Amino acid sequence: MATAKQLPSGSWRVRVYDNDLKKQISFTSDLPGKAGKAEAELMAREYLLGKRKRKTEVKVKTIGECIDDYINSKENILSPRTVSEYRKSKINDLLPLCEKPVDDLTQTDIQKWVNALALKKSPKTIHNAHGLLVSVLNVYAPDMRVRTTLPKIQKKIKHLPTVEDVLKAVIGSDVELPCLLAIWLGLRMSEIRGIRKEDIIDGVLTVNEVIVKVERQDVVKSQTKTYDSRRQIRLPDFLLRKVEALPAEQDHIVELSDTIIYKHFVKLIAAAGLPHMTFHDLRHLNASVMLMLGVPDKYAMERGGWSSPSIMKSVYQHTFTAERQAIDKRIDSYFESALDSII
């Protein structure tokens, strides 16, 4: 504790350094003699004790509490699936940090957490969990600079069967239509399940809604995954006939759950003796076909609903020009030829 010093005027003054204000604070007593010295020192001591008491009274939030607050603040902005994934990540990945006060978290703590997580989780999972943590810290510990060494995400080489082999496996099955919509048009599972008959006008499908699974419950969203995911695709005659053959009272053209579609598809692929593939791999096959056919990037991105900086900055057009129609015919001809050898 600092000692008071007598000034030329006879008063007593003591100075203490306030770490929060980053400056000296002075306390002065005009009492004569030792009484003035004692009073100045008492004022300084009470000031510091008061600051310590206020600090202890303000409860510092834990990392877990900050994550919860962050998720709750974004609940009406982010998609239900994203919110659900954040909550799962907190429990499954970030739990070792959750009890730590946010003010006590260090870069070493974060790096140790990443190192331990890398022993049992994939690089992609670690990147996602670390991204959530950084977003939370940007709000609740804005002065902290996070510089973590993360595991590199390895490029996966997919060995997919031919389109003809996949078509042979799924044609005539109960998941034929969703599989064709994925492999032929490049639609996502959520987009396929969200298609209603009213979304198809004059043979043109407008991707308006998606149905996603959030905590085992179907959630209908009027927003697609990305800006470019809201798009229009001309349905080929083969698929139009499939849709027209559906019961009149059926609203959505695919009523099966995502779980049933996936399980049945995987079983069909295995029964055909083909290497394992996911339902989403059908989109990869679709993209590969467009690459093989030499479809220009602009039209491939538009058909598949993929985003890129150049397209995001351009004026998105939903027009069907002669060149676009020629592209559609080239793709349709390929799949029709593949089907001719099967049915």
- Arithmetic mean of pLDDT, 41-51: 76
pLDDT digits (tens, 9 = 90+) for 315-338: 223 344 566 678 888 889 999 998
229 pLDDT band, cuts 50/70/90, is: low
- Arithmetic mean of pLDDT, 195-201: 93
HSE of 102, CA atoms in CB hemisphere, 13 A: 22
- Arithmetic mean of pLDDT, 141-162: 84
Report the chain's mean pLDDT, rounded to a whole number: 84
Q: Where are the domains of the chain?
A: 5-57, 78-140, 163-340
Q: Is the pLDDT of residue 204 over 80?
A: yes
SS3 of residue 230 by DSSP: coil
Q: Could you tell me which residue, 305 or 197, shows the higher pLDDT?
A: 197
Provide DSSP, 139-191: HH-TTPPP----PPPPPPPP-PPPHHHHHHHHTTSTTHHHHHHHHHH---HHH
- Is residue 41 within 8 A of residue 63, CB to CB? The reply is no
- pLDDT of 312 reads 27
Separation CA 138–CA 127 (nearest Å): 16
H-assigned helices in the chain: 33-57, 63-74, 80-92, 107-117, 123-140, 163-170, 176-185, 189-194, 237-244, 258-271, 281-292, 297-304, 309-313, 322-340
**Strand 12-18, strand 5-6: pairing:** antiparallel
Separation CA 58–CA 306 (nearest Å): 48
pLDDT digits (tens, 9 = 90+) for 80-110: 788 889 999 999 999 999 999 998 899 999 9
> Per the structure block, which two tokens stand in for 291?
């690459």
CATH of 163-340, one of 3.40.50.1220, 1.10.443.10, 3.30.460.10, 3.40.50.2300: 1.10.443.10
Q: What's the whole-model pTM score? A: 0.62
Long-range contacts of 92-96 (CB under 8 A, 24+ apart): 93/117, 93/121, 93/125, 93/126, 93/129, 94/63, 94/64, 94/67, 94/129, 94/132, 94/133, 95/64
Q: Could you tell me which residue, 203 or 297, shows the higher pLDDT?
A: 203
- pLDDT of 230 reads 73
Residue with the two structure tokens 């002669």: 322
> Per the structure block, which two tokens stand in for 297?
């990037």
Q: Is the pLDDT of residue 44 over 60?
A: yes
Mean pLDDT check: name the lowest of 29-38, 56-65, 123-132, 260-269: 56-65
- pLDDT of 120 reads 93
- Arithmetic mean of pLDDT, 223-231: 61
> Per the structure block, which two tokens stand in for 141?
């510990």
